[in-house]
């Protein structure tokens, strides 16, 4: 009867551990939520942020090109007053691209994951607000047509110059 010494299995165990993914080798990105590592979660959040930002741009352009919309942000209102979807797209890209670039570059850091969750929550709130805005637009348009003299300077329609 022969006995196998425990150290004889060490090379086999070492080669099996080298086949493990970098996430399992202790890179600091432990498996977590839904079986994905932080880096993967941040990439998914970045994709979600990009998709919601694109949807926001599309809906904004849709309203600006048809009925118009109220814009509270004076800088965004100034950009919209030039009547160019190109300027609006550049503004949106300039406001989102730096954050996405940092998130992707430093995706394994906790701060980037937190940034991703906060930005996703904010944009989810924007999407909810768009749904509410769409529901309120009918009554708002009736009121604006009934009293054209009472038009608010915050109301922006693509192609119109602001009166300020």
- Beta-carbon contacts of residue 158 (< 8 Å; ≥ 6 apart): 61, 64, 65, 68, 80, 83, 85
The Cα–Cα gap between 117 and 141 comes to 35
Q: Distance of alpha carbon 153 from its chain centroid, rounded?
A: 29
Work out the pLDDT band at 76, boundaries 50, 70, 90. confident
Element (H, E) at 118: helix 110-146
User: Among all chains, which residue has been given the structure tokens 């604006």?
Assistant: 144
Mean pLDDT value of segment 78-107: 92
Percentage of the chain lying above the pLDDT 90 cut? 41
Q: Between 163 and 91, where is the model more confident?
A: 91
Percentage of the chain lying above the pLDDT 70 cut? 65
pLDDT at 51 over 70: yes
The Cα–Cα gap between 157 and 83 comes to 8
pLDDT at 152 over 80: no
Averaged confidence pLDDT in the chain: 77
The Cα–Cα gap between 44 and 46 comes to 5
Q: Choose the weakest-confidence range: 31-35, 66-70, 118-122, 138-142.
A: 31-35
Looking at 12-87, which runs of residues are DSSP E strands? 69-70
Q: Is 96 exposed, middle or buried (0-12, 13-18, 19+ CB in 10 A)?
A: buried
Residue range 95-149, pLDDT digits in tens: 999 999 999 999 999 999 999 999 999 999 999 999 988 888 777 666 666 666 6
What is residue 33's DSSP assignment? G
φ, ψ for residue 155, nearest 5 deg: -80, 125
- Residues 83, 159: contact at Cβ < 8 Å? yes
């Amino acid at each position: 009867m022969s006995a196998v010494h425990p150290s004889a299995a060490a090379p086999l165990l070492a080669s099996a551990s080298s086949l493990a993914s970098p996430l399992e080798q202790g890179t600091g990105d432990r498996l977590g939520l839904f079986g994905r590592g932080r880096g993967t979660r941040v990439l998914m959040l970045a994709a979600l942020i990009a998709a919601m930002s694109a949807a926001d741009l599309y809906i904004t352009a849709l309203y600006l090109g048809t009925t118009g919309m109220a814009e509270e942000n004076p800088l965004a209102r100034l950009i919209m007053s030039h009547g160019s979807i190109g300027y609006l797209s550049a503004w949106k890209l300039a406001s989102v691209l730096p954050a996405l670039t940092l998130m992707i570059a430093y995706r394994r850091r906790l701060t980037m994951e937190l940034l991703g969750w906060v930005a996703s929550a904010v944009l989810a709130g924007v999407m909810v607000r768009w749904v509410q805005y769409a529901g309120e637009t009918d009554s708002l348009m009736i009121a604006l047509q009934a009293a054209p003299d009472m038009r608010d300077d915050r109301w922006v329609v693509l192609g119109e110059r602001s009166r300020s």
